[in-house]
Amino acid sequence: MGRQFAEELSSGEFGLDLSESIRIHLVGNHYPPVPASMVPVCISAIHSHNENGNGDELIELPEGISWRGKTSAPVWAIIDSHHLESWCNEF
């Protein structure tokens, strides 16, 4: 598991949609597993990075999840802490 599995998931070789590949990555490549409620947040961070390149944009987090005591987190922090580089352009 780990980086190579993330690369394989992001390549599309398993025929999974983005949501399912991110869910598998969050559950399988993290300990403890990241809650499935973070899937849409991670997808938003990936899209924001790939479309805007703005790592400082804030994304609202699901209820019960915080980042440094806040209810939103910057794109760069979401990508970095959830190891989403394999889905990002030029990270």
Please report where in the chains the tokens 């969050």 appear, as a residue: 26
pLDDT at site 91: 58
Residue 1: pLDDT over 80: no
Identify whether the C-beta of residue 61 lies closer than 8 Å to the C-beta of residue 73. yes
pTM of structure? 0.93
Q: Give the side-chain half-sphere CA count within 13 A for 79.
A: 23
**Residue found by looking up tokens 């499935």 in the block:** 36
Q: What is the count of structural domains for the chain?
A: 1
pLDDT tier, 17 (very low <50, low <70, confident <90, very high otherwise): very high
Predicted confidence band of residue 90 (pLDDT cuts 50, 70, 90): confident
Beta carbons within 8 Å of 75's beta carbon, 6+ residues apart: 45, 48, 49, 54, 55, 56, 57, 58, 59
For residue range 27-73, list pLDDT tens digits in order: 999 999 999 999 999 999 999 999 998 899 999 999 999 999 999 99
**How would residue 2 be classed by pLDDT, with cut points 50, 70 and 90?**
confident
Domain hosting residue 46, numbered range: 3-87
What SS3 state is found at 73? Answer: strand
